[in-house]
């Protein structure tokens, strides 16, 4: 029987196809998961950017100082730059998924063609056996009833194999159609993301142009204020990076996490003037108590050349910073409780260069990344 020589080829091709399908399914699932996670990051930055843009409109409508508008624009630029970076990563993952799907579709297409060739040869061989009465000869040459039954079963098995091969080809063709449809969807997504990326890059260039334009319009006093604020932020970031060493092994307030919220403001009776670059600007009456937001350990106290204090408190590996204090009532190394007083609010300089009673609060995670201070105080 000629069809038997195709049995091994059929089983080998089927096994190979099962392995290919399993590998392709696993790779596709991992690729989709990576794209979805990256897309969630992109959407998060988009939401933050939209919120920042709304805040910018409010600042302009309220006719706030040019320095404050510049500060908000810089925040917007940073968010947009992060959005661009994450969108580029989304494009890379999408392209990777497209390449994987295209590769699988190519292999699957080639496998379908091989199976079609095998099936065609099986059909031709079955027709030749039928025309030449090979099946009849095969049965009548049996050496007994049991041998005849075995040969009958063999003929039926050959027919079943042909039917299975036809079903397999139909299944593969359906799978190939799904891969090609998915491939087209991903290509459309890539085109859409590419257009979004180009739009954000143009918007970033416009933001940069706006900052330069507004900087040129600043008064000498506003430029001085802006320079002081930028200098303060750089010092704060550098100090927080240095303090990461001092938090090593700290267990006080170790239950603090990124998700800790519903905390009191660090100024008793105070209110938030605004949030900028994830820093909270909290105003209060002169001499109002400044308190720790959480259990912790005082790891550093600084005094600047204007006689204002900065207190750094470690909560496990996290650091909260309290800047522009008029006085301090704790010492380095002190273990403190949530809402315990650490000093009093001092006098700083607001966006318009005027003296104002407020303090700055910031929060850093164990990696040194500045967290959104607003999240601590959500109710």
Domain count, the chain: 2
Same-domain status, 264 and 207: no
Do residues 288 and 332 make contact, with C-beta atoms less than 8 angstroms apart? Answer: no
CA distance 225 to 210: 19
Residues 6+ positions from 40 with CB-CB distance below 8 Å: none
State phi, psi for 58 to the nearest 5 degrees.
Answer: -65, -40
Same-domain status, 50 and 120: yes
**The domain containing residue 8 runs over which residues?**
2-214
Q: What is the pLDDT along the chain (379 residues), one digit of tens a residue?
A: 444 444 444 445 455 545 555 555 565 666 677 888 888 878 877 887 788 788 778 777 876 666 677 777 777 887 787 788 788 888 988 898 888 888 888 889 999 999 999 889 888 888 888 888 887 888 888 888 888 888 888 888 888 888 999 999 999 999 888 888 888 888 998 899 899 889 988 988 888 888 778 777 766 666 666 565 666 555 655 655 666 677 878 899 999 998 898 999 999 999 988 887 788 889 898 789 999 999 999 999 988 755 578 999 999 999 999 988 988 999 999 999 999 999 999 865 454 445 578 888 999 888 778 888 888 887 6
Domain C-terminal end among 196, 214, 232:
214
CA distance 353 to 95: 50
Domain C-terminal end among 214, 231, 256:
214
Instruction: Identify whether 146 is part of a domain.
Output: yes
What CATH number is attached to the domain comprising 353? 2.70.70.10
Same-domain status, 157 and 9: yes
Same-domain status, 180 and 296: no
Instruction: Identify whether 228 is part of a domain.
Output: no
Same-domain status, 24 and 96: yes
275: left (phi over 0), alpha (psi -120 to 50) or beta: beta
Domain C-terminal end among 214, 233, 268:
214
Structure-derived torsion over alpha carbons of residues 299, 302, 308, 309, reported in degrees to the nearest 10? 10
Query: Does this model's pTM top 0.75?
Result: no
Same-domain status, 17 and 79: yes
**Beta strand spans in 165-295 (E):** 271-276, 279-283, 289-291
Burial of residue 83 (CB within 10 Å: 0-12, 13-18, 19+) is buried
CA distance 18 to 99: 21
Same-domain status, 195 and 266: no
CA distance 246 to 89: 35
Same-domain status, 325 and 179: no
């Amino acid at each position: 029987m000629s069809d038997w020589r195709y049995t091994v080829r059929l089983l080998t091709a089927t096994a190979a196809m099962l392995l290919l399908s399993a590998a392709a399914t696993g790779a596709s699932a991992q690729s989709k998961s990576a794209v979805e996670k990256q897309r969630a990051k992109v959407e998060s930055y988009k939401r933050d950017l939209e919120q920042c843009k709304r805040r910018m409109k409010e600042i302009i409508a309220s006719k706030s100082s040019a320095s404050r508008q510049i500060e908000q624009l810089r925040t917007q630029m940073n968010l947009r730059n992060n959005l661009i970076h994450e969108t580029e990563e989304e494009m890379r993952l999408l392209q990777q998924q497209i390449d994987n799907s295209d590769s699988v579709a190519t292999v699957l297409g080639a496998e379908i063609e091989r199976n079609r060739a095998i099936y065609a040869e099986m059909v031709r061989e079955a027709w030749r056996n039928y025309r030449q009465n090979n099946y009849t000869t095969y049965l009548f040459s049996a050496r007994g009833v049991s041998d005849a039954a075995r040969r009958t079963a063999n003929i039926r098995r050959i027919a079943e194999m042909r039917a299975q091969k036809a079903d397999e080809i139909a299944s593969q063709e359906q799978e190939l159609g799904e891969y090609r449809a998915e491939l087209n969807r991903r290509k459309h997504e890539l085109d859409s993301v590419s257009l979004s990326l180009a739009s954000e890059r143009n918007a970033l260039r416009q933001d940069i142009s706006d900052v330069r334009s507004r900087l040129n319009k600043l008064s000498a006093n506003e430029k001085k204020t802006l320079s002081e604020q930028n200098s303060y932020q750089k010092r704060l970031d550098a100090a927080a990076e240095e303090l990461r060493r001092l938090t090593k092994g700290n267990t006080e307030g170790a239950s603090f996490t990124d998700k800790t919220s519903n905390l009191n403001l660090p100024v008793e009776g105070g209110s938030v003037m605004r949030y900028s670059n994830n820093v909270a600007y909290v105003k209060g009456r002169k001499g109002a108590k400044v308190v720790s937001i959480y259990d912790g350990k005082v790891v550093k106290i600084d005094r600047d050349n204007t006689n204002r204090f900065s207190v750094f408190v470690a909560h496990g590996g996290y650091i909260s910073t309290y800047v522009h204090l008029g006085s301090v009532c704790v010492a380095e190394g002190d273990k403190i409780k949530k809402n315990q007083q650490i000093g009093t609010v001092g006098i700083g300089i607001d966006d318009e260069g005027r003296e104002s009673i407020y303090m700055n609060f910031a929060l850093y995670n164990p990696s040194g990344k500045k967290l959104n201070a607003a999240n601590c105080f959500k109710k």
